[in-house]
Structure 1
């Protein structure tokens, strides 16, 4: 049996995709490979494989131990992707950014959730043959399409009229997520209900916290901010929504998009090159807030187009299924164990 030690503090901060991705992988291994892999969490005993999900300094120190076995690093962000997310004053920002890359360089193998990150890591002097692309996924037991009766009951629970068009956004409230455009779209469409599921996972460290706090405290009448919620409730919001909109300027492979797909909710995204390589055809792309506004109007006025995108969401969910990714992760871990 292969001893795989997971190192992570991702679940300490609620409402962030890193925690969701980590939780999904641990559950996958427990559900599919209990007889092949012995998985432990934050244990420093001897391991065949040590898989680092977060870059905590004690984890970094542990990489110098020969007991760690093959060291795997999960890349959920690069220094440039943190811009617009957190307020870190200099010189601490520069020191932290250098530390991030130093951590990744300590790994024997890096896993990225989006192939667009491979050349960026190579530019940081990490050899391409040490980088593996494995996409994110979500469990269909956690996120799934509910029945019309269940959705009707949920709409009543959330005080949403049966005929109200609902646009959902999700994630941390920060500039990088495109929250400003989401708010602007709510202002332009007073007859549509907009809902943002998420909050300030990093509190006052969030870039632009004071400004966004004022918006959250006094939003347009047709915009709700749920705050940080449990994943089970988030699944309900995907189901009661007609359209999922993520206007982010910078992402890796958003868990929220996969969660929306799994619930059969059509997806509208900012037109970013990184999406094209992984989910082309499964979503509607928009260049800017004006384009988003037009796409929302078109989808709302054309039920057939919305129904088609719902089918595409379901197709994407099938492709990025737990079952398919389980095989990929098994092959990856077995190959890494041989390298060790």
Structure 2
């Protein structure tokens, strides 16, 4: 495994990488020897991030099958980071060159197969394996435990709480999340995450003003340790991710795993992976109407919760373990 994803906290790439390493070590410790960032002889070299030193390592002998994990494309970086020209163009060119150096690419959303093909990657070199989360990390707490959590965080038990998570940036739709807090002062809003890339973050100046001085019903706890995230999900009644562009957000899977009802901006790429498992919305007005409806209608909220639980079983660690094992086994056969 080659990755620097955990160096920057609060990003989904690091979560996906951590989940996969833990899965392999827990389920296949006797069959798969996992080494991290070591340039020794290997049957498979799985690249999770596109560091330049990793790119150079692909030219070394005894790399085995080179696997690239596609967590983002040039179009998904726009709206996340401010990269001035000509550096943006250079990086985008490098990113595609990195992917083309791989023997096999793994995408977390099938909609990205056609995007990669447009960049000149042959379809037979691309395979779809979805993200997943472990029930050991994200799970629903008991009703009493949830009450204690709210008490600890000074949130009334009967208060309707909406949570969003991820980096604070334009692409994530944080501005709409903030707008909803202003429109619905009787609802508690929490956005867990921060400016993982500092002032390079798109929309940093305007968003930072609100983070430093939010409305009374909006809280920004900042970037928290991953193990704390389970508590934040269990504090809430509804998970909302108003992103304008995503691959397969880990945060949605984490919410599902905690049996938390989910509302999303209805992106096309969601339709092939989690259609029917969330409440779709097109804009901030529909999000406002949806929150009002769910906060007043316990039956509809319960129905949405059931859909989250069902989706969680499809993207569980147990369900994906055998899929990853079979994939790696196929790759090692190609080395022989």
**TM-score, with structure 2 as normaliser:** 0.99
Cα displacement (A) at 1:234: 1.1
Q: Distance in 2 between matches of 1:266 and 1:208?
A: 28
Structure 1 regions of 5+ residues with no counterpart?
1-5
CA RMSD of aligned residues (A): 0.5
Match of 1:263 among 258, 261, 280: 258
Runs of 4 or more consecutive aligned structure 1 residues displaced over 4 Å after TM superposition: none
Cα displacement (A) at 1:111: 0.1
Residues 167-186 of structure 1 show CA distances to partners (whole Å, capped at 9, x for unaligned) of: 00000000000001000000
Aligned positions of 1:91-170 closer than 5 A? 91-170=86-165
Corresponding residue number in structure 1 for 2:247: 252
Is residue 207 of structure 1 aligned with residue 197 of structure 2? Answer: no
Corresponding residue number in structure 1 for 2:25: 30
SS for the counterpart of 2:189 is strand
Is residue 329 of structure 1 aligned with residue 324 of structure 2? Answer: yes
Is residue 339 of structure 1 aligned with residue 306 of structure 2? Answer: no
Q: Distance in 1 between matches of 2:202 and 2:210?
A: 14
Q: Distance in 1 between matches of 2:334 and 2:248?
A: 28
Cα displacement (A) at 1:231: 1.3
Q: Distance in 2 between matches of 1:310 and 1:230?
A: 25
Q: Distance in 2 between matches of 1:189 and 1:148?
A: 26
Cα displacement (A) at 1:150: 0.6
Q: Distance in 1 between matches of 2:193 and 2:100?
A: 32
Q: Distance in 2 between matches of 1:242 and 1:324?
A: 27
Q: Distance in 2 between matches of 1:208 and 1:195?
A: 19
Q: Distance in 2 between matches of 1:322 and 1:207?
A: 33
Q: Distance in 2 between matches of 1:207 and 1:297?
A: 30
SS for the counterpart of 2:255 is helix
Cα displacement (A) at 1:66: 2.0
Is residue 232 of structure 1 aligned with residue 227 of structure 2? Answer: yes
Is residue 272 of structure 1 aligned with residue 267 of structure 2? Answer: yes
Q: Distance in 2 between matches of 1:288 and 1:170?
A: 18
Q: Distance in 1 between matches of 2:226 and 2:304?
A: 23
Match of 1:89 among 76, 84, 87: 84
Corresponding residue number in structure 1 for 2:291: 296
Q: Distance in 1 between matches of 2:82 and 2:314?
A: 37
Structure 2 regions of 5+ residues with no counterpart?
none
Q: Distance in 2 between matches of 1:182 and 1:227?
A: 15
SS for the counterpart of 2:62 is helix
Is residue 65 of structure 1 aligned with residue 60 of structure 2? Answer: yes
Matched residue pairs, number?
Answer: 335
